[in-house]
Amino acid sequence: MTALRRFDLFSRSIFEIFEEYEHYKKERPNLIVDDHLLITYPFAIYLFANKLNAELASTIEAGLRTAYKSGEIQELLLKKLGKNHGLY
């Protein structure tokens, strides 16, 4: 859509943008990731477990809560995305 000039930008989440850029940059040489613009908005990420496996769902939830409280989730995000893409 941007190549057809139907709009000027295509916003992507931090979880999508760099992988998609690496995939498309050769076929779309004018494609860039603008490191001067950041649009933030709250969004949810969901993990699902089989409804017959409540123990698994509880274990996942407890692990995520623990990792969030300790800062490990934020650290992992910065490690995976930040160092490779100048986000520090």
pLDDT digits (tens, 9 = 90+) for 13-45: 877 888 888 999 999 888 888 888 888 888 788
Q: Is 36 left (phi over 0), alpha (psi -120 to 50) or beta?
A: alpha
* Predicted pLDDT at 19: 86
Check pLDDT > 60 for residue 72: yes
pTM here is 0.55
Positive or negative, the Cα torsion across 39, 46, 59, 62? positive
CB–CB of 88/79 below 8 Å? Answer: no
pLDDT (0 to 100) of residue 54: 95
31-50 per-residue burial string, b: 16 or more CB within 10 A, e: under 16: eeeeeeeeeeeeeeeeeeee
